[in-house]
Amino acid sequence: MIADDILLAELGLAVTAYALLGGADFGGGFWDLFAGGSRRGMPQRRLIEHAIGPVWEANHVWLIYAVVLLWSAFPTVFAAVASTCYIPLTLAALGIIGRGAGFAFRKTSTSLASRRAFGAVFAFSSVATPFCLGAVAGGIASGRVPPGIAAGGPFTSWLNPTSVLSGLLAVGVGAYLAAVFLTRDAQRERSELAETFRRRALGAGVAVGALAAVGLVVVAVDAPALFGLLASGPALALVVASIASGAVSLVLLALRRYVAVRVTAALAAAAIIWAWGAAQYPLLLPGVTISQAAAGPAVLHTLVGVTIVGTVVLAPSLWWMFHLFQRFPAAGAPERADGEGT
């Protein structure tokens, strides 16, 4: 059947978009956490706020979209994953509350103390949420989420070597992408911060690369089946592509090619996800293929139709939004100290 493959591809697209866009937003929170004391860190926090503010809600919708598409098209898979991984998913959900609310509240509150409190919540959840989501992905990839309701271990499914590694990788990739994206934003608006974020991007890039290398060893030991799949066929090609784009990104960063590096860094991150997908294909869960898990043809065809129509509306809207906020620098640069602490 073709409709289930199309929907799987859309799901992959949504997960990738969320990992890149939502991941970078989480990464912004990561740097917020390490921006330093409230006074010294203020310009950085402003830049982060400024870059994330208008787009985070739209970026966040990719997650919701992925979830509803998963349950509509592959309901048994959704039920299995959600029921087995209910602990990390609940934690991720609480993190999402803290993050979104902390961010929006901090933006509108003016006193330093409340900004600090909301900011702390924002920053902390920005790390906890991607870790939990990454850990769930690791549990699925290493075959620890069996089909059936709550059939897997509530702890072992996400507290295992592969999950911990993929959780850390999710945090790291987000931080890296955020640094890369922020470098360019900073360059456009406030050049001295561009250097700060360039250094961070380089550091994060090296750290994530090292983590990924360790990760391959961990996966080889912990989930040999997954490793075997990753080390052959199209998955291998994607792994190589990811490593190559990662290396090119470091060079581009060193050369201060901030626009080009956005593309290669995103590619490096996306290729990891696609490699996972290619390795698992056509299995969604252990012993469950796509066509076995897919909903009936009437549902699948309706969903394909609806998503095509939806995309026609969505694509130009998304384009307009990013265009609007990337093209025009804001009237006042974010460095203006307006009403801080009043």
Partner 1 sequence: MELLAVAATPVDLGAARVQMALSLGWHIVIACFGVGMPALLLFTEWRGIRTGDPVYQMLARRWARAMGVLFAVGAVSGTILSFEMGVLWPGLMDSFGDVIGLPFTLEGFAFFVEAIFLGIYLYAWDRLPPRAHLLSGVPVLLAGVASAFFVVTANAWMNQPHGFELRGGEVAAVNPWVAMFNPATPPQTVHMIIAAFMVAGFATASVYAAAILRGRRERYHRLGFTLPFTVAAVLTPVQIGVGDWAAHFVADYQPVKLAAMEGVFTTQTGAPLHVGGVAIDGEMRYAVEIPNGLSLLAHFDPDATILGLNEVAAANQPPVNVVHLSFQAMVAIGFALLALSAWFAGMWWRRRALPRSRLFWLGAVAAGPLAAVALEAGWVTTEVGRQPWIVYEVMRTSEAVNPAPGLWVGLVLLTAVYVALTVATIYVLRRLARDGPAPLAPQESDVTNQPVP
Give, as ranges, the residues between 32 and 91 that touch ligand HEM (CB under 6 A): 57, 60-61, 64
Element holding 159 (H helix, E strand) = none
Using CB under 6 A as the binding rule, whether residue 314 contacts ligand HEM is answered as no
Q: Could you say which of ligand HEM, partner 1, none residue 55 binds, taking C-beta under 5 to 8 angstroms by partner kind?
A: partner 1
Using CB under 6 A as the binding rule, whether residue 107 contacts ligand HEM is answered as no
Binders of ligand HEM: how many residues, by CB under 6 A?
4
Question: Contact 10/68 with Cβ under 8 angstroms?
Answer: no
Q: Show the tokens assigned to 255.
A: 């050369």
Residues in 93-112 at the binding interface with partner 1, rule: CB under 8 A: 93-94, 96-101, 103-105, 107-110
Q: Cis before residue 282, ω within 30 degrees of 0?
A: yes
Closest C-alpha to 89, from 146, 22, 158: 158
Query: What residues form DSSP beta bridges with 289?
Result: 283
Q: Could you say which of ligand HEM, partner 1, none residue 225 binds, taking C-beta under 5 to 8 angstroms by partner kind?
A: none
Q: Could you say which of partner 1, ligand HEM, none residue 312 binds, taking C-beta under 5 to 8 angstroms by partner kind?
A: none
Using CB under 8 A as the binding rule, whether residue 37 contacts partner 1 is answered as no
Closest C-alpha to 246, from 270, 230, 227: 270
Query: What residues form DSSP beta bridges with 288?
Result: 285
Closest C-alpha to 271, from 182, 175, 173: 173
Query: Looking at 59-67, 168-176, 236-244, 269-277, which segment touches partner 1 (CB under 8 A)?
Result: 59-67
Using CB under 8 A as the binding rule, whether residue 124 contacts partner 1 is answered as no
Using CB under 8 A as the binding rule, whether residue 221 contacts partner 1 is answered as no
Q: Could you say which of partner 1, ligand HEM, none residue 98 binds, taking C-beta under 5 to 8 angstroms by partner kind?
A: partner 1
For 248-316, give the DSSP string: HHHHHHHTT-HHHHHHHHHHHHHHHHHHHHHHHTTEEETTEEHHHHSPPHHHHHHHHHHHHHHHHHHHH
Using CB under 6 A as the binding rule, whether residue 309 contacts ligand HEM is answered as no
Print the binding letters for residues 62-91 with partner 1: x by CB under 8 A, - otherwise. -xxx-xxx-xxx-xx-xxxxxxx-x--xx-
Which is closer to ligand HEM, CB of 64 or CB of 221?
64
Which is closer to partner 1, CB of 6 or CB of 220?
6
Q: How far is CA 182 from the centre of its chain?
A: 16
- Environment class of residue 41 by beta-carbon count within 10 Å: exposed (0-12), middle (13-18) or buried (19+)? middle
Residues in 148-207 at the binding interface with partner 1, rule: CB under 8 A: 148-154
Q: Could you say which of ligand HEM, partner 1, none residue 286 binds, taking C-beta under 5 to 8 angstroms by partner kind?
A: none
Using CB under 8 A as the binding rule, whether residue 38 contacts partner 1 is answered as no
Binding site for ligand HEM (CB under 6 A): 57, 60-61, 64
